[in-house]
Amino acid sequence: QVQLVESGGGLVQAGGSLRLSCAASGRAFSSYAMAWFRQAPGKEREFVASISGSGSTTNYADSVKGRFTISRDNAKNTVYLQMNSLKPEDTAVYYCAARSAFHSTWAYWGQGTQVTVSS
């Protein structure tokens, strides 16, 4: 079992930056791939970025490439999402998710943190 707690959300002006953190409890954190998803009001949840257990492989949605960076610190059981050049359309609740090496689905989710970008 993995429990995830996000933090770092808030209100920022367009063009600004935020860094989200996701702290994980449980053992063998480095064996889990981690990801960030987001859900805007009235829209479905969408993939933002993912990172492998070792941190060597990352993937991004086209909408955030070049602006967002996902990283992890396995010693701290934490994954980060650095968000730069934020746009109003980035406004959403951001969720952290974990997937073990034995599953193909994102089985563990945090409660979400609100990011609001004003124009």
Reduce the DSSP state of residue 82 to 3 states and report it: strand
Averaged confidence pLDDT in the chain: 96
pLDDT in the model for residue 103: 83
pLDDT in the model for residue 35: 98
The phi and psi torsions of 109 (rounded to 5 degrees) equal: -135, 145
Q: What percent of the chain has pLDDT over 90?
A: 93
pLDDT in the model for residue 24: 97
Question: How far is residue 16's CA from residue 45's CA, in Å, rounded to a whole number?
Answer: 23
Of 16-25, 76-85, 93-102, the poorest mean pLDDT is in 93-102
Residue 1 has pLDDT above 90, yes or no: no
pLDDT in the model for residue 39: 98
Chain-centroid distance, C-alpha 5: 11
CA–CA distances in Å: residue 110 to residues 49, 60, 88, 95, 119: 15, 19, 23, 6, 28
pLDDT in the model for residue 95: 98
Give the model confidence (pLDDT) of 31-74 as tens digits: 999 999 999 999 999 999 999 999 999 999 999 999 999 999 99
pLDDT in the model for residue 34: 97
Of 21, 76, 79, nearest to 50 by C-alpha is 79
Question: How far is residue 42's CA from residue 37's CA, in Å, rounded to a whole number?
Answer: 15
> Per-residue confidence at 104, pLDDT binned at 50, 70, 90?
confident
